[in-house]
Structure 1
Amino acid sequence: MPRPRNRSTDLAPGSERARKSRGQDKITKAESKPLLAIEADPEWHPIARQVWEAGLESGQAEFYESSDLSILFLTCEGVDHWLSQGGRRSPELLRVLMQNLNSLLFTETDRRKAQIELERVQEDDDGVLASVSAIFE
């Protein structure tokens, strides 16, 4: 019986995992363009507006590009539509909306998968900023 392939030396040459284990992932870099000024729709449901504002105010927004803001806008439009539906709401639409929010790193789990850690910063009495982890130590 053959043994399971679980070591990087056992991986097929050229496979994605083999490249990662050797540190040969190539990243193509480009210059970021200015962000588009996109405004929330004033007619949105309050929860859709809350999602929009949370997306713009959260730490992961530092990584957003104009295309990310467009996806956030489209997702909030979908949230507004989903919440405005009378009667039975589409679970498939909710699944798609949640996938969009996950791709925008809305949850702690998604940020951890992307190896992004946000540190909460808080001002003390003197107006000095301190991280929450330092406060609780």
Structure 2
Amino acid sequence: MESLRSPTGGQGRIDGCGDLTMLGSPTTWWGLAARAQTTGEQQNNPRLIQADDSDDFTLYDIDLLNAANFLVVYNGGTGFTAWGVRIKTPDTARNTDGIDPAGAKDVTIADSSIQDGDDGIAVKGGSRPSSDITVKDDHF
């Protein structure tokens, strides 16, 4: 996979390794998800970043790669910013949503690049309605 790093050097990278075999298993996380889909079973793949009831959470200038499941879930908080985030997971990777605000308020997702195997951004209700969400200048 080519580098997604910004020309200014970037702040960091998290690789979910969904393409690698799981410890003690001959299959990858993505293989597990594909098998669950074809056999009608449930998958139990981990999310890359899950922030529950966390206020004023910011992701800035970071690469998020190869998640086994959703990349970012911001659930039940107020004040989330994703700015300059670069998400890349193959389009064949099942259930790899990019950014999912759920029951979230005051959300901004801007100047980011999202390539994944499911929804780029999926606004969800969660335990309360999501509101005041701005999505601008993003590439999908």
TM-score norm. by structure 1 comes to 0.25
Of structures 1 and 2, the one scoring higher in RCO (CA 8 A, sep 6+) is 2
Name which one, 1 or 2, has greater alpha-carbon Rg.
1
More strand by share: 2
TM-score norm. by structure 2 comes to 0.25
